[in-house]
A and B are shown apart, each in its own frame.
Chain A
Amino acid sequence: GNSVTQMEGPVTLSEEAFLTINCTYTATGYPSLFWYVQYPGEGLQLLLKATKADDKGSNKGFEATYRKETTSFHLEKGSVQVSDSAVYFCALSDQTGANNLFFGTGTRLTVIP
């Protein structure tokens, strides 16, 4: 079946620190992979995505590379800001038609000045 395992939080970093949030997946077939972000009081927003192996998704300084050999899609950012404080969700879509998303448990990131 499909599942996503995500790094447990919470994560607290100082501004300008390097961020990594680990995500690994199990899927039948060839999924698309996503990172969603939920800022306080808001809905989930798509942060970035990758649809095939070795693709790199990037947005707002965040990056993640689709690694088929390690079934991973780790989220990274070189220098976090206070405004990056949010909950981050890794997700996959198995692309078999319904496009249902399978999510990880979410990682809460707090960036302190």
Chain B
Amino acid sequence: EAGVTQFPSHSVIEKGQTVTLRCDPISGHDNLYWYRRVMGKEIKFLLHFVKESKQDESGMPNNRFLAERTGGTYSTLKVQPAELEDSGVYFCASSQDMLVEQYFGPGTRLTVT
């Protein structure tokens, strides 16, 4: 069974540009989470999808971040326009149900210069 995959593994963009991160959850997992780790700090929750619906987006930092999960399969996280403080590692996780283990992807390292 394939695990959670994320693309790209690393992205370097200039301030003001747009970047789209993609997450493919484990097949059949309705719950999909996005988290972010800014350099040296804790991993912070961004948002949670149940199928295609946003269950909780309380962790999204501001309206430059847009997450979608059309069709309830893969998800994208778009940052537009990117700022320097958006640099970090973006993790995606999925789970079959809530209150059970979340399986994490390898992360996308975003560097904004």
Contacts and interface: CB of A to CB of B under 8 A. Distances in A.
Decide whether A and B assemble into one complex: yes
B107 interface: yes
Interface in B67-113: 91, 93, 95, 98-102, 104-107
B10 to A, nearest CB: 11
- Interface bin, chain A: 20 to 34
Contacts of A44: 43, 91, 93, 104
- Interface bin, chain B: 20 to 34
Interface in A77-100: 89, 91, 93, 95, 97-100
Nearest to A103: B43
A103 B42 CA distance: 6
B32 to A, nearest CB: 12
Contact of B3 (A4, A36, A43): A43
Contact of A105 (B35, B40, B59): B40
A42 B106 contact: yes
Contacts of B4: 43
Interface in A31-76: 36, 41-46, 49
Contact of A97 (B35, B37, B98): B98
A99 B102 contact: yes
Contacts of B45: 100-102
Of the candidates A4, A89, A100, A104, the one having the most CB atoms from chain B within 10 angstroms of its own CB is A100
